[in-house]
Amino acid sequence: MSLRSLGVELHCRCIMTESKPIGRHIEKVELIPANSHCEETEIIATLKKTGQEVCLDPEAPWVKKVIQKILSNKRR
């Protein structure tokens, strides 16, 4: 079973990140730790209406706030 078939990305998935705070449009967030294929932690949000995937900057304060709110189970 190849890594690829396991859905493991063999490179970074994010080229650029969304700068505008889009917290209320986010349906879910995927956190991908740095690994042998990508030196950066990547955060990929799926948007509610379109299902579109958008990369977020792990260093951006608003991103950290969105993640904390999700974890603390507060409706945004």
- Binding-site ranges for its own copies (CB under 8 A): 6-8, 26-35, 40-41, 46, 48, 50-51, 58, 64, 67, 69-71, 73, 75-76
> With contact defined as beta carbons under 8 Å apart, do 11 and 37 qualify?
yes
CA distances (Å), origin 74, targets 6, 44, 52, 66, 70: 33, 20, 23, 10, 6
Q: 20 or 24: whose CB is closer to its own copies?
A: 24
Q: 7 or 15: whose CB is closer to its own copies?
A: 7
Least gap, CB of 75 to its own copies (angstroms):
6
Supply 38's token pair: 């990508």
